[in-house]
Amino acid sequence: MENRTIAAIATPNAPGGIGIVRISGENAIEIAAKIFKPISGNSLCESKGYCAHYGSVFDNNEKIDEAVCLVFRAPKSYTGENIAEISCHGGLYITKRVLRAALEAGASPAEAGEFTKRAFLNGKMDLAAAESVMSLISASGKQAAAAALNTLDGVLSREIRSCADSLIAVCASLSAWVDYPNDEIEDTTAEDMLPVFEDVRSRLSDIIRRYDCGRALTDGVDAVIVGRPNVGKSTLMNMLSGFERSIVTDIAGTTRDVVEERIMLGEIVMRIADTAGIRETENAVESIGVSLARRRLERAELVLAVFDGSEPLNDDDFDIIEQCKSKRAIALLNKSDLPLAADREVINSAFPFVVELSASTGEGRNELEKAVSEMFSTNEFNPNAACLTGERQRICCQKALSGVEEAIAALNSGVTLDAVNVCADDAINALLELTGEKASSAVVDEIFSRFCVGK
């Protein structure tokens, strides 16, 4: 257990009903007792764990608030240390004042993620679960939150641990056989090992595939709206975001910079950018907007290509169709409230998904949601199965899968068994890095530095 007792505000820095100051460490309860007096007249120091006390908070003998203090005794707490949590009135001033009083009473300011880091270091949760705490906090949809909660519950860690255990068992018999070839150790054959490696390969591939489906739900999607001027891009942006953000006019070339917005499309968060209409132009300012739009299109994960369904396609439309060819793109035939004049066949053959909609009436929004969900396979996402949270975990899982695949290839080609052992060992190390059993302290520090203070 670390000696330093830490304190931080665990609630957002904004006006609110309740603000929580969390104190954790060996002296947490003694420090809280210096600033919090229960109405019962007893000292907090005598309190048992899992107890709530009503009382007052003092700063230098001046009463600053009425509050409730929760006491947790080590090891039965979030961090595994003694914890006192003072729930005072929320707001920008009071919570800070209570924190200041705790710091003056002997606590040190907590670093970002330090409470959860201590929980990890004290064996309260593994690294995969700790990372899911952050995903849970930042989850913006039901599915993403359910997946993060599952990881926190240990679904992923158990699956990874079980894959690692299978590989460890194979490695143990392999090592015995390699080290003592002349002893009476039962022969380990490729036929015995192959099914184990194949089973682990299929389980790890499933986890990675699921991550790809779930990523749009957990991380969101960078999307861009493109189209020639006047097809209704700004109207669409306003329709999707639910308020007037982009300027809508009949005058071509009005949107020059890139207007960005976070919107929810079904369960998916989209960081969506409305760009200048892409067309050939002599106007210097407009052409800067057009090249910004082209660059944005190149790096987007999803392109929403808007066409005016009420007009025949022109050269600028064909230019956009061409640019979307190498991208993950959905064609939107806008102005569906007017008679269709655009060549739908051309659009159908160029895009995997075509949605007819009217940005001005909102009709077609559900179809767009459905298309996006199918495109990112989020409709197949199962939040109850083992889910990876974040790139670090995906890289570890991918490394483990590569090790297993190399082991299978080595077995099939009849390479010596110690080579198989090396590949399996790499896979085991990658899996243990994922759960944190073998992660370096630099990796651990880097993970927790991404957390917010107070968590």
Q: Would you tell me which residues interact with ligand GDP (CB under 6 A)?
A: 227, 229-235, 248-250, 255, 277, 334-335, 337-338, 358-360
Shortest distance, position 233 Cβ to ligand GDP, whole Å: 3
**Residue 428 token pair:** 């085991």
With a CB cutoff of 8 Å and minimum separation 6, the contacts of 348 are 354
Nearest residue (CB) to ligand GDP, 164 versus 231: 231
Nearest residue (CB) to ligand GDP, 215 versus 233: 233
The span from the CA of 272 to the CA of 225, in Å, is 7
Shortest distance, position 289 Cβ to ligand GDP, whole Å: 11
**Residue 130 token pair:** 């700790």
Shortest distance, position 135 Cβ to ligand GDP, whole Å: 35
Rounded to 5 degrees, φ, ψ at 412 are -70, -30
The number of residues making up the chain comes to 455
Q: Are 144 and 388 spatial neighbours (Cβ–Cβ below 8 Å)?
A: no
Which amino acid makes up residue 373? S
The span from the CA of 123 to the CA of 133, in Å, is 15
The CB density around residue 131, as the number of other CB atoms within 10 Å, is 28
The span from the CA of 360 to the CA of 346, in Å, is 24
The span from the CA of 99 to the CA of 45, in Å, is 19
**Residue 45 token pair:** 């120091």
Shortest distance, position 342 Cβ to ligand GDP, whole Å: 13
Q: Are 38 and 54 spatial neighbours (Cβ–Cβ below 8 Å)?
A: yes
Rounded to 5 degrees, φ, ψ at 36 are -125, 125
Three-state DSSP at 70 gives strand
Shortest distance, position 311 Cβ to ligand GDP, whole Å: 10
With a CB cutoff of 8 Å and minimum separation 6, the contacts of 330 are 302, 303, 304, 305, 351, 352, 353, 354, 355, 368, 371, 372, 375
Shortest distance, position 259 Cβ to ligand GDP, whole Å: 10
The span from the CA of 26 to the CA of 194, in Å, is 50
Burial class of residue 24 (count of CB atoms within 10 Å of its CB; 0-12, 13-18, 19+) = buried
Shortest distance, position 398 Cβ to ligand GDP, whole Å: 40
Shortest distance, position 119 Cβ to ligand GDP, whole Å: 49
- Which residue in the shown chain puts its C-beta closest to ligand GDP? 232
**Residue 142 token pair:** 């039901």
Shortest distance, position 226 Cβ to ligand GDP, whole Å: 9
**Angle, vertex CA 435, rays to CA 383 and CA 391, nearest 5:** 60
Nearest residue (CB) to ligand GDP, 14 versus 338: 338
Q: Are 338 and 310 spatial neighbours (Cβ–Cβ below 8 Å)?
A: yes
Shortest distance, position 284 Cβ to ligand GDP, whole Å: 19
Shortest distance, position 235 Cβ to ligand GDP, whole Å: 3
Q: Are 371 and 351 spatial neighbours (Cβ–Cβ below 8 Å)?
A: no
Shortest distance, position 232 Cβ to ligand GDP, whole Å: 3
Nearest residue (CB) to ligand GDP, 174 versus 226: 226
Reference 375, options 307, 310, 300; nearest CA is 300
Q: Are 89 and 15 spatial neighbours (Cβ–Cβ below 8 Å)?
A: no
The span from the CA of 363 to the CA of 376, in Å, is 22
